[in-house]
Amino acid sequence: MNELDAITAAAKQAFAQAATPAELENVKAQFLGKSGRMTELMKGLAALSVEEKKSRGAAINLAKQAIEAALTDRRQALADAELQAQLQLEALDVSLPGRQRPGGGLHPVSLTLERIEGIFGSMGFEVADGPEIETDWFNFTALNTPENHPARSMHDTFYVEGGHVLRTHTSPMQIRHAVQHVKRHRALIDAGGAMPEIRVIAPGRTYRVDSDATHSPMFHQCEGLWIGENVSFKDLKVVFTDFCRTFFESSDLVLRFRPSFFPFTEPSAEIDIQFQNGPLAGRWLEVAGSGQVHPNVVRNMGLDPEKYIGFAFGMGPDRLTMLRYGVNDLRLFFDGDIRFLSQFQ
């Protein structure tokens, strides 16, 4: 092998061994740099005759071209490798399935409230909403509940600052809604005209100091109120029976109005239902308190109890939800466990 071939071979080998572009540029200097081996050979030409210069120069140039070509190839190869490595590093696996965002849904108790609103809506009841932090007047006094009534004890009620309470029931909405209604129709009422009937339900959150499998400190109630000039207990029976049969999709459902006591109704009754079929068949299940609105309460609504009369009821949507779906622990509704809640979607 002549000297030029040897240098060319050495250069190719050195280039091949350079692992990075920087290393390659260092190695290049050894062959093609100012004091590189090829430059030294060119310098040697000076001592030669014109003839020798021609042939030797051409040979050196050929070798130099071969080395430069090898260098270019190696540069390209290293750049390709670098790009490849970077692509690898930044690789996105576009075949991965997208992140699923599971569809949400309504809480089972919200489903019940929607159902209640739909059924009573079809019977001409409006839906009213009111505050959960309530004054003593609306929660107790206006509802004919005297100072010494056990419902007022610290034991049963969450008192908050300023003598306010977390409403213990939705019954304060009877007064709030009726007062607004009466205000709107005051002139008509005073003129002895026929006031449009008050027909409303008021669903919402209520609070009592109570906690076990069937009681939660926060729970739901739905109030119902129908006041007119000739609204009787019979109407309560018809409306509530219709409601229960529709709600539970059970036309042979039986209702029982069991005499009871509430300060704001007289007479008063607990409403029990009995299924004729299914796992709960034959048992009496309490679903609501009810009664004919007490004259003192009618007065607090701004109406004359000699002229206006009606009924009210308060039911437990949580209880209705438990019965409808066969849930035996009320706390499940408020734990926020997605495994439980997703069953109702």
Residues near ligand PHE (CB under 6 A), total: 11
- Residue number with CB closer to ligand PHE (30 or 214): 214
Task: Please state the closest distance from residue 215 (CB atom) to ligand PHE, in A.
Answer: 12
- Residue 291 touches ligand PHE, criterion: CB under 6 A: yes
Among 144, 265, 292, 300, the residue binding ligand PHE under the rule CB under 6 A is 265
Positive or negative, the Cα torsion across 34, 39, 44, 50? negative
- Residue number with CB closer to ligand PHE (314 or 317): 314
Positive or negative, the Cα torsion across 179, 183, 186, 189? negative
* CB-based burial label for 127 (10 Å; 0-12, 13-18, 19+): middle
The reply to whether omega before 146 is within 30° of 0 (cis) is no
Task: Please state the closest distance from residue 120 (CB atom) to ligand PHE, in A.
Answer: 14
Task: Please state the closest distance from residue 340 (CB atom) to ligand PHE, in A.
Answer: 26
Query: Quick one: which segment of 81-89, 178-186, 274-282, 287-295 binds ligand PHE (CB under 6 A)?
Result: 287-295
- Residue 290 touches ligand PHE, criterion: CB under 6 A: yes
Indicate the SS3 state at residue 331.
helix
C-beta of residue 45 within 8 angstroms of C-beta of residue 57: yes
Among 313, 317, 319, 321, the residue binding ligand PHE under the rule CB under 6 A is 313
- Residue 321 touches ligand PHE, criterion: CB under 6 A: no
Residue nearest to ligand PHE (CB): 314
- Residue number with CB closer to ligand PHE (4 or 293): 293
- Residue 289 touches ligand PHE, criterion: CB under 6 A: yes
- Secondary structure of 82-143 as H, E, C letters: HHHHHHHHCCCCCCCCCCCCCCCCCCHHHHHHHHHHHHHHHCCCEECCCCCEECHHHHCHHH
- Residue 231 touches ligand PHE, criterion: CB under 6 A: no
- Residue number with CB closer to ligand PHE (291 or 317): 291
Helix boundaries (H) for 157-280: 172-184, 186-190, 233-247
Among 207, 219, 262, 333, the residue binding ligand PHE under the rule CB under 6 A is 262
Q: Could you tell me the two tokens for 237?
A: 């029976």
User: Rounded CA gap, 58 and 250, in Å?
Assistant: 108
- Residue 202 touches ligand PHE, criterion: CB under 6 A: no
C-beta of residue 202 within 8 angstroms of C-beta of residue 131: no
Which H or E run contains 54? helix 50-89
Backbone dihedral angles phi then psi of residue 193, each to the nearest 5 degrees: -80, 175
- Residue number with CB closer to ligand PHE (206 or 321): 206
Query: Quick one: which segment of 228-236, 251-259, 306-314, 336-344 binds ligand PHE (CB under 6 A)?
Result: 306-314
Task: Please state the closest distance from residue 150 (CB atom) to ligand PHE, in A.
Answer: 12
- Residue 226 touches ligand PHE, criterion: CB under 6 A: no
- Residue 152 touches ligand PHE, criterion: CB under 6 A: no
23-42 positions binding ligand PHE, by CB under 6 A? none
Sheet with 265-274: strands ordered across: 126-127, 198-207, 218-228, 309-315, 285-293, 265-274, 254-262
Query: Quick one: which segment of 11-19, 112-120, 271-279, 284-292 binds ligand PHE (CB under 6 A)?
Result: 284-292
C-beta of residue 298 within 8 angstroms of C-beta of residue 201: no
- Residue number with CB closer to ligand PHE (270 or 322): 270
Task: Please state the closest distance from residue 262 (CB atom) to ligand PHE, in A.
Answer: 4
* Distance, first Cα to last Cα, the chain: 85
Q: Which residues bind ligand PHE (CB under 6 A)?
A: 169, 171, 262, 265, 268, 289-291, 312-314
